[in-house]
Chains A and B, each alone.
Chain A
C-alpha cells in the first residue's frame, strides 16, 4: 500500500536540520530568511513555506498547510497546546544547560527516523556522520596538542565563548581537540565575556565562528588587547563562515568540516 509522504512542518531549526539530514523536505519551516543567512546548510528549497518568527510562528498559515506532524523542541513549550490543536507534535531536546548537544542531535536523528518509519535511513545517516567525524579526527591529529578557543565576536569588546555544552564544543571534543575554555559554558542567549578573558591560555589558538558583525570590525581591528592576545599576534587564528549555533547534526558536521579545512590551511604547528 503506497502511502502519501507525510506533510511535516519544522518549527525548531535543529529539528529542521535533522529532518533534512534524513532526506525529507518539510512543507514549511520558520524564519527561513534568517536560516539561509545564518545556517547556510542545508539548502532549503524555495518552495518550503516560511512560517514566520520562531518566537511566534504563524498558526493560521500552519493550519492552512494541514501538516501531519509538527517538529519542535522544549524551547517551544509555551506554544505546545496551540500546535497540538493543529497536528500531532514531536518534541526532541537539543540544548540542555550543562549537557553536550551533539549526542542529543544524533539521538534526534534516530528518534525522528523511527517516527517517520525510516529507521534504516537513520542508521545510514548516523554511520555516515561517524565516518566523517573519524576522518576529520584523523586529519586534525597533528593539531591536538594545542587547546582551542571557540568564539563568536559580539562587539569590539565582547565575545561569546563556546564551552563543552555547546554544539561546537561537543564536536571539538569528538575531533580530539581540547577546549581552552574550561569554565562552564558561556554559550547561552547572551552571556558575553570581555575579550581579555581569552588571555588565560597563552598557547591556545582562536577559532572565530561566523562573520564578525559589521559594526565591530574597525573597533576590533584597532583594539590593543585583541591584537596583543598571543594567538592573534602569532597568527594562530582562523575565521569560519556562518554556522547555526543552535543547529542539529548538519551544523555540527558543517563546523567539523570548516574547522578541518581552516586548520589545514593554517598549517601545522599553529
Chain B
C-alpha cells in the first residue's frame, strides 16, 4: 500500500465517522453519550434508537461491506478476473430470486430461515455461472457475461413475481433495494459470526490460493490439488454473498469496488489485496450508508443503501475495463462441420410458420381447457390477435438478428442484445419518458426508449472505440452500461410511485400493449433492418478471422463495427419496448441456427431472423394461454422457453 492509499482510507474513515456522529448527535445529545455505557438508568426512546438502531446499523454496514469485499477479493483472485464479484457473477441476484419466491409462495419458511433460502439461491446461481464458464477455463469475459445472463434472468423472474402479486409487496422492494436499517443487534450478530468463520477459512486457504495465482501448471508442479481448493474458495465467496443477501438484501458492487480500490492504492500482492479488501469494503458501505442517512434526514427521501452502491458500480466497471486482460481464447471453431443447403434449411423453418399461425388464430384457452375456434370466432378475435403476433414476431426477428451479428462480430457465443447494454439504455429512456411526460402515451415511451438505447450504445461505442473496438471490451462496456441503467431503475423503483408500476411492467415485457400501428411499425422496421443487414455478410465472414486478416483484405474494421452496432442498437431498442430487457431469443436463435448448419454469414442471419420470429410468436401464444385469463409477461415467457436450451448447452461436453 502506498502512503496515498493510507491517506484515502483515513479520509474515508473520518468522513464516515463524521456522518455517523452527526446522525447520532441528532438523536441523542453528545453530552449524554457517556451515560449510555454505564446503563444504570433505563434508556429513553431516543437513546434506545441510538443503541438499537443507529449503532447496529453502522456495525452492519461495516461487517456486510467487509463480507462483500472479501467475497469479491476471493472471486477475483480465484478467477484472475478484476471485475468478478457477487453482483457481476449473478450470485446476489440468485439469492434475491429465492427470497422473493419464498416470500411469495412459502412465507413461513422465510420467517426464520432467510439465510438458508438466500444461500440456496446464491449457490444455485454460482453453480450455473461456474458451469457455464467451465469449458472455457473460467475465462473472465465468459464468466461475467454468464453472470449477467443469470442475474438478469433472476431479476426478471423476481419482477414478474412481484408484479403478479399486485403492488403491495413492500417488503420485497425494501429487500431488493438493500436497506440497512436495523431494529436490534441480531443481524449484526449473525453476520459477524458468519464473516469471522469465512475469514478464518479463507486465511487457511490463502497460501494455496496464492499458488493458484501462478497458474495451473506451476501450481500442479508444486503438488497442490487445485480442484478442491478452487471449489472451497468459490463456496466461501458465494456463502458470504448469500449471508449478506439474507441479512440486508441486495447490496451490489461493494465486492467489485473494494479490491479495485485497494489495488488502486498500490496493493500488489494478492495476500495484501485479500487482507485489505474487507476493510475497504466495510468503510465504503459505511460511507454510502452515512450519505443515505444524511439525505434522509435533510430531505425525508429514503433510499435503500444498496441502490446507492449500485450507482457506483457502472462507472467503476468502466474504469476497471482497461485492466481486464482477456486470456487469449481462440475464436470459436465452427461448432458444426455440417453444412445445410440454405434453400432446404430455410424451407424447413418456414414450414413452422403455418403451424404458429393456426395456433395463434384458431386455438383459444378457456382457463380449464383448450378450444378450437370456428372461423367466425377466429375472425372476431383476429383484430386483437394479429397486432401482438406480428409485433412479437418482428421483435423476435430483430433480437435474433442482433444476436447473430453480435456473435459473429465478437466471436463470443454468449453475445446477445441483453449483453451490449442497449436494453438497459432503453429502460433508462423509458423511465425518463415516464418522468418527463407521465401521460404521454405510447409514442413518447417509444421515443424515450429509442433515444435511451442510442445513448447507451453511443456510450459503449465511445468507450470501446479506442484501438479497433476489441470485441471483449465491447461486451464489458455493454455490461457496465447495463448495470448502471438497471441500478438507476432500481432507485426509481425504491422512490416508488405510479412510475414504479410501469417500470416493473416493462421489465417483464408485455405483448398486449401492441397496437396495429406499433405492430406494423415494428414489422416494417424489421424488414428494413433485415434487408440492410444482409449487406454485412462479407464483413461478418471476414471479421471473425481477426483484425489483421480483415485489414489485409482491405476491410474498414472500425467503420464496419460502428455501422453494425448502430443497426443492432436501433433494432434492440425497438424490440425491447415490447419484449422488455430480456428474452434470450437473441442469444439462442443464432446459436441453434448455426448448429443446424447455417454456417455462412448471410444464411446464418436469415435463419436466425426467421427462427427468432417463430420462437417469439410461439412465446406470445404461450404467454397468452398458459395461465389464462392471467397473462404472463412476454419476455419472461420467452426466457422460460429458451432456458432449457441454455441448460442443455451447459450440460453438453
Contact surface of A with B, Cβ cutoff 8 Å: 31, 34, 38, 49-61, 63-64, 74-75, 77-82, 85, 97, 152, 154-158, 160, 183-184, 188-196, 199, 202, 213-219, 222-226, 228-230, 245-246
Q: Given A34-B166, A53-B631, A154-B174, decide whether A81 and B515 contact each other with a Cβ distance below 8 A.
A: yes
B29 CB–A CB distance under 8 Å: no
Interface-central residue, A192, A214, A228, A246, by most chain B CB under 10 Å:
A192
Chain B residues lying within 8 Å of A229, measured Cβ to Cβ, are: 45
The contact string, 1 if C-beta is below 8 Å from chain A, for chain B 473-515, is 0000000000000000000011111101110110000101101
Are B171 and A38 in touch, CB under 8 angstroms?
no
The contact string, 1 if C-beta is below 8 Å from chain A, for chain B 313-348, is 000000000000000000000000000000000000
Query: Closest CB-CB distance, B379 to chain A, in whole Å?
Result: 12
A80: nearest chain-B partner, CB-CB:
B441
B440: nearest chain-A partner, CB-CB:
A77
Are A199 and B629 in touch, CB under 8 angstroms?
no
B216 CB–A CB distance under 8 Å: no
Query: Closest CB-CB distance, A196 to chain B, in whole Å?
Result: 5
Stretch of B30-38, B108-116, B133-141, B415-423 with 4 or more beta carbons under 8 angstroms from chain A: B108-116
B374 CB–A CB distance under 8 Å: no
Contacts A/B (CB < 8 Å), 25 sampled = A34-B165, A38-B168, A53-B631, A54-B166, A56-B512, A57-B512, A58-B630, A59-B512, A63-B384, A74-B439, A78-B505, A82-B515, A155-B171, A189-B173, A196-B183, A202-B45, A213-B107, A214-B107, A214-B110, A214-B111, A215-B111, A224-B48, A225-B52, A228-B48, A229-B45
Are A223 and B174 in touch, CB under 8 angstroms?
no
- A77–B502 Cα distance when bound, in Å, is 11
- A184–B501 Cα distance when bound, in Å, is 21
B624: nearest chain-A partner, CB-CB:
A60
Q: Given A53-B630, A56-B510, A78-B513, decide whether A190 and B183 contact each other with a Cβ distance below 8 A.
A: no
Contact of B111 among A34, A75, A189, A218 (CB under 8 A): A218
Chain A residues lying within 8 Å of B624, measured Cβ to Cβ, are: 60
- A235–B404 Cα distance when bound, in Å, is 65
Interface range on chain B: under 10, 10 to 19, 20 to 34, or 35 or more?
35 or more
Chain B residues lying within 8 Å of A246, measured Cβ to Cβ, are: 167
Are A157 and B174 in touch, CB under 8 angstroms?
yes
Q: Given A34-B165, A155-B170, A158-B170, decide whether A188 and B630 contact each other with a Cβ distance below 8 A.
A: no
Are A81 and B630 in touch, CB under 8 angstroms?
no
Chain A residues lying within 8 Å of B171, measured Cβ to Cβ, are: 154-155, 158, 213, 215-216
Q: Given A58-B628, A214-B107, decide whether A223 and B501 contact each other with a Cβ distance below 8 A.
A: no
Contact of B441 among A78, A189, A192 (CB under 8 A): A78
B185: nearest chain-A partner, CB-CB:
A224
Q: Given A55-B505, A157-B182, A226-B183, decide whether A217 and B111 contact each other with a Cβ distance below 8 A.
A: yes
Are A225 and B164 in touch, CB under 8 angstroms?
no
Query: Closest CB-CB distance, A75 to chain B, in whole Å?
Result: 6
B468 CB–A CB distance under 8 Å: no
Chain B residues lying within 8 Å of A97, measured Cβ to Cβ, are: 497
Query: Closest CB-CB distance, A171 to chain B, in whole Å?
Result: 19
Q: Given A34-B165, A224-B184, decide whether A192 and B52 contact each other with a Cβ distance below 8 A.
A: no
